[in-house]
Every structure is written in C-alpha cells, then in structure tokens.
Amino acid sequence: MSLRIHSLMGIQVLDSRGRPTVCARMTLSDGSVHKATVPSGASTGRHEAQELRDAGSPFSEKYFGGSSVYLAVANINNIIAPKLIGCQPDLLTVDTTLAKLDESTRHEILGANATLAISLVCAIAQAHAQQVTLARLFQPTGALTIPMPMVNILSGGAHAKGALDIQDVLVIAHGAQTIAEALSWISAIRERASQAGAARGFITNLVADEGGLGIPFSSTDEACAFVTDCITDVGLSLTSEVGLALDVAATQFFDQGNYISRSTGKVFSGDQWRDQIHSLLNNHPILSIEDPFAEDDWNQWAQFSQGLHRPVQVLGDDLFTTQATRLAKGVHEKSANSILIKPNQNGLVSKTHEVLLQAKAAGFTTVVSARSGESEDSWLSDLAVGWNAGQIKVGSTHGSERTAKWNRLLEIEATEESVFSKPF
C-alpha cells in the first residue's frame, strides 16, 4: 500500500527551557500519527537558518515576550499543509517543495522552525511507510555505526549565565568499547564533579540549559584541571580512556577584533587569544576544541589550524552553521578539520545530510549536535547513526530531553547489528 499524507498541522509547544517551539503532526492514510519537535539554540551564530518568532507581529503572545511561534505554525497550517496533503511522505520530494515555497537563503519567509518540523516529520513518516527505523531509512543494510558521545560536565557562557568564560568543558570516553560503557564512565565523572562541586560549597542540583554543572571557576585552566581530577578520581586514565573537549563559543565574547574575558575583563588581541588557546592545549588532555575563534575571524581560524603541534579536532559550529557555502570556504582555507552538524541551523533534513556528506568528502570529522532548547524526541540519535556521523553531542547525562537521545543509542546498540565509532 502506498501511504499518503492525510492531515498535517503545526502546534506551538514548549522546549526544555520553557520557550515556545514548533511541533509538526502528520497523519498518514493508514491512520498512523507521527510528530517531530524542532530544537532552538541559546548560543546562535548569525549565519544560521532563521527561525521565525512573533515579536512585532500580530501573532505575538505577550506572555512569551515575543518568542511565541504562532506565525511559523500558521505558515505550516495555511501554506505548507495544503501543498502536501494527498502526497506521499517522501523526504526529498517534500524538501524540494519546501525549498520552492521559501526561496530565501535562510528560510526567512516560512521560518526554519516551520520547514525543519515538516522535513523531520516527513522523514519519520517515510520510515514508518517503509517499515524501518529512521536510522535504517538512511542506511538500509549493514552494521550501524553508533557515534562516540561528547558530553557536558561543566557549562558556562550562554548556557549558564557566564559561570565560565567558555561555554562548556566536556569529556570524550575515547577508550570505551560500546556506547553503554562510554555512558557509564561519563555518568560516573558527572556524579564525581557534582560531589566535588558541592564540597566546594556550590549548589550542584541546579544545572545549566544542557544539563552541565554551572560551577564558577576563575579560569578555563582551573575548570579543565577540575574535570581531569574528576576523571582520575573515578579510576579512569587520561591517556587511554577519557579526554577533554572544549566548546569555547568565542563569538560570544568577541568585540571589534578583540576577545574579552567576561570573568576578568582582560582584553586579548586575536594573536594573544590564539596563544591562550595553544596554552590550554599544551596543559590539558584536550582532544577537541569547538569555536575557539569568532564566527567571522577566518584569519585566526586558519593560522591556528595550520599551526597545531599535535593532532586536535578543530570543530566549527558558528563558523559553519551547517551551511554548504561556509563549509566550502573553511575547507579551502584549511580553517578547521571538523564540523558540528545541527539540523535547525540548516532548516531541511536532506540539505543537512548533504552538508555532512560534503564535510566527509573533504576529510572532516562530523559531530551531530542537539541544541540548548530541546524536546524528548530522539530523532537526532537516529540521524547520527543513519548518517554514520561518528560523533554526537547532546548535552549532559541529566534531563529527559538529553537522556532520550542517549537511551535511543543504547536501544539501537542492544537491538541492531552495530559497531561503536572510534574517531580518536
């Protein structure tokens, strides 16, 4: 039976931060119902696809301070749905239709939160129609690759009201043999960090947007040393089992060519800041560093990446914003060697996948990532697996919107033929 879209609607729902976001609900001709909720970021690059919110429009909901998404929902119900009802839930066909309905460069007309919601729910519905999981929709045969997790321990920046200058200190259990083992190690490290933070007199049962601990530190060096102590305290090796990752999110404290420490007020030139980053790499077991420079400070990115003294994953988030043209520039200029893949930075599932494939073809590693404002949906895990991304970053081990993704990976590992990615 060839299933078709019977009904389609957008709904305003709440994300994990209590802010409005878009959910798409699709009913197929067999009566099955499928839903997808889109995430939203707090630390957003200015080159990302444009989510549509209601501030300044007749749709604006005063109780949400202009952040409601009724306009995006109306675009689904009044513009998109009439074009798709009666059609087959085919991702490429639907994404082509969405691109024709909104030909703007960043989905400014319909809103990337509207287009992504439809694109996602279509992919989920297509998987149902083919009687496969979402991961198997993209990789029909062979062993599935479970991605290596990159997990928040400490959070600062936009995720924790500046508890750290940088956004996150994370861990990578690169010596683990399964996702189950990796998460068991990381959970122990996270619990030890909570205990150590409490021993310092800090409240650790209140966490940042992505579940990390918002413990204040006077410097990034001190924060890194704190996490490495937690790793060794639980009996894990810093050389063969667990390393650090940093999300610097440098765009947030870049101003007129300088990098300004929010904790000390000290001003660094681009070259001085590059020296600071090199110092961190020399002093700590850092495997990956994300957004060490601002999103348009291309010269510093290239100088840093080409001047490394040891292998490090240089990960572009705000630099690339999951956009093909910016990735092409970064590949040409050798600005980085890895890309963060966020579907809502792009606005369409198929186009997001194309950017990931473009990165892989250039020899980049790829890290599929959640956002600070998430839902309990687990589609991100299926995409990371089906796309053979190799790595995934969804926040910490606390919060149901985070554990939903980890639990889906554990389920795939337990029920499917799979191998665990070993990118490091």
Boundaries of every domain in the chain: 5-131, 144-420
Comparing CA positions, the residue from 262, 252, 170, 155 lying closest to residue 206 is 155
- In the chain, pLDDT over 90 holds for what percent of residues? 89
Per-residue pLDDT tens digits for 207-226 = 888 989 989 898 999 999 99
CATH architecture of 144-420: Alpha-Beta Barrel (3.20)
- Which segments within 224-319 are labelled E, that is strand? 243-247, 254-255, 258-260, 267-269, 286-290, 313-316
48, 51, 210, 290: which one is catalytic? 210
pLDDT at 208: 84
Q: Cα–Cα distance between 383 and 402 in angstroms, integer?
A: 15
pLDDT at 218: 87
Q: Which helix (H) or strand (E) holds 276?
A: helix 270-283
Q: Cα–Cα distance between 364 and 50 in angstroms, integer?
A: 26
For tokens 């413990």, what's the residue? 215
Cα separations (Å) of 179 from 53, 152, 185, 420?
37, 16, 10, 7
Residue 205 confidence (pLDDT) above 90: no
Residues near 112 by Cβ (< 8 Å), separated by ≥ 6? 48, 49, 50, 51, 52, 106, 344, 346, 347
334: annotated active-site residue = no
Residue 162 confidence (pLDDT) above 60: no
- In the chain, pLDDT over 70 holds for what percent of residues? 98
With cut-offs at 50, 70 and 90, classify the pLDDT of residue 77. very high
Per-residue pLDDT tens digits for 280-293 = 999 999 999 999 99
For tokens 């990381």, what's the residue? 186
With cut-offs at 50, 70 and 90, classify the pLDDT of residue 43. low
CA 231 to chain centre: 24
CB 183 within 8 A of CB 406: yes
CATH class held by domain 5-131: alpha beta
With cut-offs at 50, 70 and 90, classify the pLDDT of residue 242. very high
Q: Whole-prediction pTM value?
A: 0.96
35, 342, 351, 405: which one is catalytic? 342
pLDDT at 1: 54
Phi, psi of 76, rounded to the nearest 5 degrees? -65, -50
CB 25 within 8 A of CB 9: yes
Alpha-helical regions (H) of 284-399: 298-306, 324-333, 343-346, 349-361, 379-386
CA 64 to chain centre: 24
Buried/exposed 75-109: b ≥16 CB within 10 Å, e otherwise: bbeeebbeebeeebbbbeebbebbbebbeeebbee
342: annotated active-site residue = yes
Burial of 139 (0-12, 13-18, 19+ CB in 10 A): middle
Residue 243 confidence (pLDDT) above 90: yes
CB 361 within 8 A of CB 328: no
Please give the average per-residue pLDDT across 60-81, as a whole number: 96
